[in-house]
């Protein structure tokens, strides 16, 4: 979606990279801060229930496209882990970090595949989020099944995590498309005033 806006405004390649880098950094920062807020308000179980890091990553995919979205999805959990490691309570926990990195990478890449279509029809962010969720959670379960003999994360624990996060996903399935549609309205409104 963002690429379409930047093309429409005839932004140079360097300008596009700068804008996308700044948006990516903001999304990664939100992916670090939002889980902290959820954990402060709802306790440690709040993360598993509300999946706060997933919201900015899904939004990033829809806005930035699959390539930049993939970068955001891969970097967000690593950045969160490294920043919160200094507090002595890293999030995500080390055992979950590789799984979450792969899962969020898939979330952002899949939702990012819809980015150009979302620029034309913002309601397509709804299937983008739903398909990304199914793909990302499937990768998480698949990795848990493959590595359960060498990792403390078993398939049954992974499945319990998936079920625990359904309410959070339902909330995000509404919030992410709503934010994308709102941004689309704002950007289209600017398009009209730019003429």
Q: What is the mean pLDDT of residues 80-100?
A: 91
Report the pLDDT value the prediction gives residue 194, as an integer from 0 to 100. 43
The residue with greater pLDDT, 22 or 193, is 22
d(CA 121, CA 140): 30
Q: At what angle do helices 166-194 and 155-164 cross, to 10 degrees?
A: 60
- The pLDDT confidence band at residue 47, using thresholds 50, 70 and 90, is confident
Number of helices (H), then strands (E), belonging to the chain: the values are 10, 0
Q: Which two tokens stand for residue 188?
A: 């289209």
H or E, element range at 89: none
**Over residues 80-93, mean pLDDT:** 90
Rounded to whole angstroms, the Cα distance separating 95 from 97 reads 6
Residue 51 pLDDT: 92
On whether the CB atoms of residues 168 and 51 are closer than 8 A, the answer is yes
Three-state DSSP at 7 gives helix
The CATH number of the domain covering residues in 2-190: 1.10.1760.20
Whether the ω angle into residue 67 lies within 30 degrees of 0, i.e. cis, is no
Query: pLDDT value at position 190?
Result: 53
| pTM for the predicted model, two decimal places | 0.91
In the block, residue with structure tokens 């034309």: 120
Taking only the tens place, the pLDDT of each residue in 121-158 is 999 999 999 999 999 999 999 999 999 999 888 999 99
Contact 161, 49 (CB under 8 A): no
Residue 184 DSSP class:
H
Residue 53 CA to residue 55 CA, distance in Å, equals: 6
Residue 193 — very low, low, confident or very high, per pLDDT cuts 50/70/90? very low
Q: What is the DSSP letter of 92?
A: S
Note the pLDDT of residue 189: 65
Cβ atoms of 64 and 2 within 8 Å: the answer is yes
Residue showing tokens 């990304």: 132
For residue 28 the two structure tokens come to: 């990664």
For helices 166-194 and 54-64, angle between their N-to-C axes, nearest 10 degrees: 30
């Amino acid at each position: 979606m963002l690429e379409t806006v930047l093309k429409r405004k005839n932004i140079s390649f360097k300008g596009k990279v700068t804008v996308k880098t700044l948006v990516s950094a903001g999304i990664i920062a939100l992916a670090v801060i939002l889980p902290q807020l959820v954990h402060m308000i709802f306790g440690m179980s709040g993360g598993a229930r509300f999946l706060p890091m997933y919201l900015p990553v899904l939004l990033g995919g829809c806005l930035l496209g699959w390539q930049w979205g993939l970068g955001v999805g891969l970097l967000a959990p690593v950045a969160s882990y490294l920043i919160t490691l200094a507090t002595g309570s890293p999030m995500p926990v080390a055992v979950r970090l590789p799984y979450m990195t792969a899962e969020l990478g898939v979330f952002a890449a899949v939702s990012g595949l819809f980015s150009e279509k979302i620029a034309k029809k913002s309601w397509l962010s709804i299937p983008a989020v739903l398909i990304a969720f199914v793909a990302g959670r499937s990768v998480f379960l698949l990795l848990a099944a493959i590595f359960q003999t060498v990792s403390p994360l078993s398939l049954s624990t992974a499945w319990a995590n998936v079920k625990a996060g359904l309410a959070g996903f339902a909330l995000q399935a509404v919030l992410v498309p709503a934010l994308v549609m709102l941004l689309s309205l704002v950007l289209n409104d600017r398009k009209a005033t730019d003429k």
